[in-house]
Amino acid sequence: MSKANEDAALLPFEEIHKKMIGLLKSNGGNVSDACEKLKISRQTHYNWIDRVDTYKKEVDDVNEAVLDFAESQLILNIKAGKEASLIFLLKCKGKKRGYIEKTEHDINVFRTANLTEQERKAADKILDAITSGNIDG
């Protein structure tokens, strides 16, 4: 057993579990910080999540609370007129209404290829069929 886990091994799981959840609640869900304070490895924490349903649920609840807090701060920023926060919210939650960034790519794979005119026309025909959805021909 590693030194990092020796101290934690002396405590009953339920006590370590409660301490870990308490640390996660107090530090905004920072796993590394909580594990360091409890002297357990991050892998131990993730093993508990995989193996103990009640622990996983409590960790999930902490993570949801962190997201709820962040969203409440985002709303406060929007109310304070912070445009970047408004744009962020629209990009995340306004996609159905068209608030989304689109990137268009113009890719011409034949620019540097040495194709004959006949090969180029055949390739263009295939690409047109693919982009139009008419791949039968």
Global pTM? 0.62
Q: Answer whether residue 109 shows pLDDT above 50.
A: yes
- For residue 67, the model assigns a pLDDT of 95
Kindly list the distances between the CA atom of residue 42 and the CA atoms of 46, 48, 107, in Å, as whole numbers in the listed order.
6, 10, 44
**If you count them, how many residues does the chain have?**
137
Please check whether residue 19 is in contact with residue 26, taking contact to mean a CB–CB distance below 8 angstroms.
Answer: no
d(CA 25, CA 17): 12
pLDDT band of residue 4 (cuts 50, 70, 90) is: very low
CA 135 to chain CA centroid, Å, is 36
pLDDT score for 126: 84
Query: In this structure, what DSSP letter does residue 95 have?
Result: G
Each domain of the chain, given as residue ranges in start order, spans: 3-97, 105-137
What angle is formed at CA 130 by the lines to CA 112 and CA 99, rounded to 5 degrees? 95
For the cut 90, the answer to whether the pLDDT of residue 79 exceeds it is yes
